[in-house]
Amino acid sequence: MRRFLTIIAFLLAASALGNCKSTNLVASVKSPTYAGQRFQRVLVIGMSDNPAIRDDFEDAMANALKAKGVHAIPGHNILLRPKSANKIPDYLREQIKEHNIDAVITSRLVGVKTEVTYIPGQAYTVPYPYYNSFYGYYGAIYPQVYSPDYLREDKTVRVETNLYGTSTPEGEFVWTGISETFNPDPKKVDKAINAVVQVVVQDLQKEGIF
């Protein structure tokens, strides 16, 4: 088990290299104790303090799983989200039991990394033939435009998604994955959510879980 936890820690610290996609799964781990059981009723929980984003994610993930033949239930359909944190575990157990949930998939924002890069200004080069005469050279150089230097800001959004089976009292770990989205458009949150859902479901399928 210690070796397995070490592998998880190593993979979840990894970053994607050489991938031009804006969203990709940079690490994933499946429990070595997973015996291939199929989950029929999955509860989707978005762990966000923004109700709109949370509900959009739950709907998107549930719809993606339904397309794979899984009965997925968005959390906002059955959870009242009590304000008192110490009531949540017991409340969740009651709802999971009442709705015959055999697995729970959760996602949360892990962090946002911002990198600022200095881009130096550059001058446009003048083709060699213009050097053949003074007036040709002067006429080409005089209106030459220089691109100014500037700072470029890049953001990488990291999301953690976990899958747990509910056959055990505490909920058994099945799978975890870390996705990264490069420079998501704040005006197109639904696009970023769908991209995360897509890479997660693809990996769950590849691992034979769904």
* Domain residue limits, the chain: 22-117+155-206
Burial (CB count <10 Å: 0-12, 13-18, 19+), residue 71: middle
The pLDDT of residue 128 is: 55
The pLDDT of residue 162 is: 92
The pLDDT of residue 9 is: 52
The pLDDT of residue 189 is: 81
Task: Enter the tokens of residue 3.
Answer: 């070796």
Q: Which fold has domain 22-117+155-206?
A: Double Stranded RNA Binding Domain (3.30.160)
The pLDDT of residue 204 is: 92
Cα(103)–Cα(89) distance, integer angstroms: 15
Q: List Cβ neighbours of 194 (8 Å cut-off, separation of 6 or more).
A: 60
0.75 exceeded by pTM: no
Spatial contact of 168 and 209, defined as CB atoms under 8 Å apart: no
Spatial contact of 80 and 70, defined as CB atoms under 8 Å apart: no
Q: Decide: helix, strand or coil at residue 83.
A: coil
Q: What DSSP character marks residue 210?
A: -
Q: List Cβ neighbours of 74 (8 Å cut-off, separation of 6 or more).
A: 44, 55, 58, 59, 61, 62
Q: pLDDT below 70 — which residues of the chain?
A: 1-21, 82-87, 122-133, 135-147
